[in-house]
Structure 1
Amino acid sequence: MATPLATLGFFQSAVMKQQYDLAAYALNMNLIDEKNQRTRSLDLTKQLDFLLSEKELYVFDDMPDRPDGLIEPPLGNDSSVMGIPRRSIQLGYIEYRERRVPVYLERVRVGDQAPVWMFSAQTVGNIENLYKQYHPSEFERYLPTWLKFQFFGIALWEFSALILFFLFTMGVGWILSKSTEKLISRYVDNEKYNISAGSANGVADLANKLTVPLTFTISFSLVFTLVSGGFPYLDAVASSTRPLIWTGLVFSAMWLGIRTINFFANRYQDMQIENLGEEHFDKVRRRRTYVSIFRRVFIFVMILGSIWIGLSEFANMEGLGKTLLTSAGIAGVVIGIAAQPILGNIIAGVQVAVTQPVRIGDSVIMDGNFSTVEDLRYTYAVLKTWDERRLIVPMRQLITERVENWSHTEVHQTCPVFLYIDYGADIKAIRQQFISVTKDNELWDNETEPEIFVVEVTENTIQLRGAVSAVGPIEAWTLACEVREQMLGYLHQQQNKYLPTERFTLTESL
């Protein structure tokens, strides 16, 4: 056993001849009590041979045949391993629950004798635990051969058992969810608890909405308990499927959380917003803004957190975990650079929710369009124009660009009405007519007196500026339009000759 190749060949040859006591000389049992070494050596030899065969670790082609373990590098090869003497050589890995256990050959010197290659003491110490996970169960002897067929190192019967258990837990989860729904409905319908009808409907609706995601969450929880050591006969399939089941558990819990957030957000909107009267219009706009943005922010954070938690299980698997984390890191940098506008709009959305330069229901003028803020999403706002069009505006524009908000501090609004007349017009009569027309309109707020003043004169016309007020921006704008129209009719009928005209002076030519 002077070389790694010789040690591996010696061990396999002795096992094939069933000379297990001879094969045991290839095991470094320094970590085992000397009194038990002889009695345990035969079992450890048989178990190690089973593991090496099961996991295809008799890798003769990769073993160096030199006492120093050196691999002669090919011409031009710059590998950090080749060309360097080694004291240990890794045959490969064996999956054990959530981690990977390496199998090593190591170079050992006993006294003054020449060094020999043996299976490392750590590898020998792990043989029993690994064998317990992968050894054939007693009842497997009674299974038909086709059920023992292995797919990716896992027997077909193990896959079938896991699927049947998953279906069973789905049924258990469904029964628990529906039973909870029935109990809650029965509880809230009992008159002795004096629960209002609205609360009863709300609790029953919550139970109904959570039934499906709760079923999946309960099912994945039970299956995850199974593959985490709850049933030793499925250790092989558990090691392979545990990360996937963990991911399913995380995302089913995320689904349950999103349903819960949406339910309570909708209930808050129904009970604390929709029931407010017109006199609380400002409070309605503020609360709708909070609910619209923070609901989406919480869901966005929950999704990111679920993805991170889901990947944490893969991080425990050394090779795959490093590959996933490295790929995720590179992809994160690339996506972060490419998604700067998206992330900027999301952050701007949070800023809009906190500072509230605009709120849902506000009347604003943006890019020359008179609009109402209809909704605030993750990255954009929806503005509804007076002619039923929808403007999609990125959130960053609400922060970085100028927005004329007609209802930011209060709902009450005043609108201007401009009129142009000739110098001979009766301004006093026009003022009286303007005040009368405004007060007779049902949109007037009955509080602020309408006014009209001469604000500018030119060589041709006089400019009058009137002010009308209403309870809201839309009402004020509509009132201004109606008053303007009636005043034009009055000027045409009563002071037609004093409408703006162009004057020409004719002189007699010589």
Structure 2
Amino acid sequence: MKTPLAWLLLVVLMAVSCLGVAQEQDQETRWYAVDALNAGLDQPPDKVERQTPRDTVRSFLALTEQQDHAAAAHLLNLNELPREEQAERGAMLARQLAVVLQRGEWFSLSSLSARQDAMVMDATGQNPLAGQPRRNLKLATLGTDGQSYQIRVARYRVGEQPPVWLIAPETLTVIPRLYEEYGPSWLEDHIPERFQGSFGVLKLWEWLAIPAFLLTTGVVGWGIHAVTGLLTRALPSGLPSIFAQMIRLPLAFIAMTLLAQWLLDYVVSFSGMITATLRVLLIIIMAWGVGLIAVRLVDTLLIRMTRRLVGEIDDTKPRDDRQLLTTLYALRRAVILVTVVSVAIFVITQVSLFETLGMTLLASASVLTVLVGVAGQAVLGNILASFQVSLSKPIRIGDLVVFEGQWSYVEAIYYTFIRLRTWDERRLIVPVRYFVSKPYENLSSKQAKLYQTIVLTLHLSADVATLREKFKEFAMAEDQVIEHHKLACFVTGQHEATQQVSFYLMGPEPMAAWEAEAKVREKLLAYIRDHHPEWWPRDVVVLSHHDIARGDTPAHRHITRAATVREVDESSPPGGERPSTE
């Protein structure tokens, strides 16, 4: 009997021991156990709330806004300070921390947990910490002297007293260093006390200083833009002046950004929300300006290479030159794409978007994918089609194409559209996807030279041999007609009283061939009109004496035929009677 009872007693003791260990481990994950808390301070007043992380931070900000720094000290863990210094230094650290939080980084109280255990509530199940209590939370991350420091709140419990949330002691050690970085600026030290009060989300002096800040940077940017314009006019015409003209706007914005950054660092500092917003905008504008100048530099080099290697481009240029220019434009688009991606990565890393928005972006990735897919479908499709055109090269810069009945030169191929120059110097802007989805005729695909056909409708009595000789004479006299051995003239059709005569000539390029065709046609028409007017198409009208006797003549009968000359044949009809002339 003793043995079973001993074993049972041992099992009970082990269960109790395990239960105690589990309870102790659970307490270690829910709070930090301490022997005493801020022993050098009096009992905290009733207006100090420390039950949840949100209560602690809200109470701290409210007390420091009321300049009650002694009460705000109860929201700091001052255990690492000597007991006799906690009251004095606690109030000072509370005042300094309030300034640092106000000017260093803007944060939202709603992002802090309102639960006593700070448990992460995530219905989606994507957060690995979901359902776990926490005892240490990050409030903000601030940098100074190239180092990053975190301001944290933690949960503490003394004996059996209710646990409370306080500013962690590791935060208090870096407050003086952060205060030197984010403390009052030179301008604020000279602002009268009556303007130091708050009005809404900002202080009174900030409502006046922010417009003056923006106006000052705007005036400097306008001045840089104007000076750059004067410099552009002073430079000799050419690539330097073109480049200076291109970078006027980004250079002005970069100057404004540098000035604003200097003012924020050494002259004035605003509240955390305004400062955070301004710094993000400054980073974006600076990255945009530098990236745009890089793109403008590529454009200038592209212009120089075009002028040096290709010159004015059309389909009279060799095929290799036009293909080179198309490749250069494709390279430009690749440079722009790389620049945009680099700028975006730089902005994201500088603003630390992944750290603050990473979980939100992951949680809403499907929604963002749908929105981007719907809103950017046309843009992305045009970009991909543009790269397709650049790689496969169905058209090249300078090619002559017939698109929807318009004779046009391909003047430029951009990310989302193609610019066509018509023969009458108009510009057609065609989306790339629309262009590649429609059939078009590339007259310069293999070579620029082109056959043109002149078609004349003449009377059957026209002498084709004579016309053939005259056509060759007129065509060989034109400078824009090439390959004279390919000149040809044939009868390509016949009707009751007419024949269709076609003349074929070749030009070095489509527009020159069209012009040569028009000139040779004029000469042929003039020759027929002056020397053989009887070759024009005409109707044969036969009138009998009976028709004449009853007055049925062409004067009384209106007989017409489109594009013909009405005459009366001089030959006699089968009955031997000679008709009267019209």
Quickly name the TM-score band, shorter chain normalised.
Answer: 0.5 to 0.7
What are the within-5 Å matches in structure 2 for residues 316-395 of structure 1? 316=353, 330=367, 333-386=370-423, 390-395=427-432
In the alignment of these two chains, the number of paired residues is: 464
Query: 2:118–2:134: 8 Å Cα contact kept in structure 1?
Result: no
Which secondary structure does the structure 1 equivalent of 2:418 belong to? strand
Partner of 2:193: 145
CA distance in 2, matches of 1:352, 1:310: 31
Query: 1:315–1:321: 8 Å Cα contact kept in structure 2?
Result: no
Shift of 1:24: 7.3
Return the match for 1:496 from 534, 540, 556: 534
For residues 283-326 of structure 1, what are the alpha-carbon distances to aligned partners after superposition, in whole Å with 9 as ceiling and x for unaligned?
A: 56445545556546644664565455435544448557776898
Shift of 1:125: 0.8
CA distance in 2, matches of 1:28, 1:317: 33
Query: 2:69–2:91: 8 Å Cα contact kept in structure 1?
Result: no
Deviates more, 1:131-140 or 1:459-468: 131-140
Query: 1:169–1:223: 8 Å Cα contact kept in structure 2?
Result: no
Shift of 1:452: 1.9
Which secondary structure does the structure 1 equivalent of 2:168 belong to? helix
Query: 2:402–2:442: 8 Å Cα contact kept in structure 1?
Result: yes
Shift of 1:468: 0.6
Which residue identity is paired with 2:400?
S
Which secondary structure does the structure 2 equivalent of 1:334 belong to? helix
Shift of 1:145: 0.8
Query: 1:289–1:360: 8 Å Cα contact kept in structure 2?
Result: yes
Which residue identity is paired with 1:252?
G
CA distance in 1, matches of 2:255, 2:367: 35
Which secondary structure does the structure 1 equivalent of 2:401 belong to? strand
Partner of 1:486: 523
Partner of 2:173: 128
Return the match for 1:257 from 291, 294, 304: 294
Identity, % of aligned positions:
20
CA distance in 2, matches of 1:19, 1:404: 80
Partner of 1:45: 90
CA distance in 2, matches of 1:277, 1:341: 30
Q: Tell me if 1:217 matches 2:254.
A: yes
Inter-CA distance 466–135: structure 2 relative to 1 (3 Å threshold): closer
Return the match for 2:163 from 93, 97, 117: 117
Partner of 2:503: 466
Query: 1:414–1:476: 8 Å Cα contact kept in structure 2?
Result: yes
Query: 1:349–1:378: 8 Å Cα contact kept in structure 2?
Result: yes
CA distance in 2, matches of 1:386, 1:63: 69
Query: 1:422–1:499: 8 Å Cα contact kept in structure 2?
Result: yes
CA distance in 1, matches of 2:258, 2:341: 21
Partner of 1:106: 155
Which secondary structure does the structure 2 equivalent of 1:452 belong to? strand
> RMSD of the TM alignment (CA)?
5.7
Which secondary structure does the structure 2 equivalent of 1:371 belong to? strand
Shift of 1:278: 9.9
Query: 1:11–1:26: 8 Å Cα contact kept in structure 2?
Result: no
CA distance in 1, matches of 2:523, 2:426: 28
Query: 2:453–2:505: 8 Å Cα contact kept in structure 1?
Result: yes
Inter-CA distance 341–221: structure 2 relative to 1 (3 Å threshold): same
Query: 2:221–2:253: 8 Å Cα contact kept in structure 1?
Result: no
Query: 2:507–2:513: 8 Å Cα contact kept in structure 1?
Result: yes
What TM-score do you get using the length of structure 1 for normalisation? 0.66
Inter-CA distance 269–95: structure 2 relative to 1 (3 Å threshold): same
Shift of 1:401: 2.6
Query: 2:395–2:442: 8 Å Cα contact kept in structure 1?
Result: yes
What are the within-5 Å matches in structure 2 for residues 160-309 of structure 1? 202-203=239-240, 206=243, 210=247, 213-214=250-251, 216-217=253-254, 220-221=257-258, 224=261, 234=269, 241-274=278-311, 280=317, 282=319, 285-286=322-323, 288-290=325-327, 295=332, 298-299=335-336, 302-303=339-340, 305-307=342-344, 309=346
Shift of 1:405: 1.7
Query: 1:374–1:382: 8 Å Cα contact kept in structure 2?
Result: yes
Query: 1:374–1:384: 8 Å Cα contact kept in structure 2?
Result: yes
Partner of 1:27: 77
Query: 1:420–1:461: 8 Å Cα contact kept in structure 2?
Result: yes
Which secondary structure does the structure 1 equivalent of 2:160 belong to? coil
For residues 116-170 of structure 1, what are the alpha-carbon distances to aligned partners after superposition, in whole Å with 9 as ceiling and x for unaligned?
A: 52445x7221123245336568996765214534574678479959977996999
Inter-CA distance 411–79: structure 2 relative to 1 (3 Å threshold): closer
CA distance in 1, matches of 2:433, 2:124: 51
Shift of 1:473: 0.8
Shift of 1:406: 1.6
CA distance in 1, matches of 2:536, 2:244: 73
CA distance in 2, matches of 1:97, 1:159: 28
For residues 175-201 of structure 1, what are the alpha-carbon distances to aligned partners after superposition, in whole Å with 9 as ceiling and x for unaligned?
A: 9x989x99x999x9xxxxxxxx88xx5
Shift of 1:220: 2.8
Which residue identity is paired with 1:494?
H
CA distance in 2, matches of 1:19, 1:387: 78
Query: 2:139–2:153: 8 Å Cα contact kept in structure 1?
Result: no
Q: Decide which structure has greater helix share.
A: 1
Which residue identity is paired with 2:193?
T
Shift of 1:331: 5.7
Shift of 1:476: 0.4
Query: 1:220–1:248: 8 Å Cα contact kept in structure 2?
Result: yes
Query: 2:481–2:516: 8 Å Cα contact kept in structure 1?
Result: yes
Which secondary structure does the structure 1 equivalent of 2:174 belong to? helix
CA distance in 2, matches of 1:453, 1:476: 19
For residues 207-257 of structure 1, what are the alpha-carbon distances to aligned partners after superposition, in whole Å with 9 as ceiling and x for unaligned?
A: 565466345435535754786xx6699596655642232123222223433
Inter-CA distance 321–314: structure 2 relative to 1 (3 Å threshold): farther
Shift of 1:344: 1.9
Deviates more, 1:134-143 or 1:392-401: 134-143
Query: 1:443–1:476: 8 Å Cα contact kept in structure 2?
Result: yes
Q: Tell me if 1:96 matches 2:145.
A: no
Shift of 1:333: 3.7
Query: 2:313–2:398: 8 Å Cα contact kept in structure 1?
Result: no
CA distance in 2, matches of 1:63, 1:374: 60
Query: 1:185–1:203: 8 Å Cα contact kept in structure 2?
Result: no
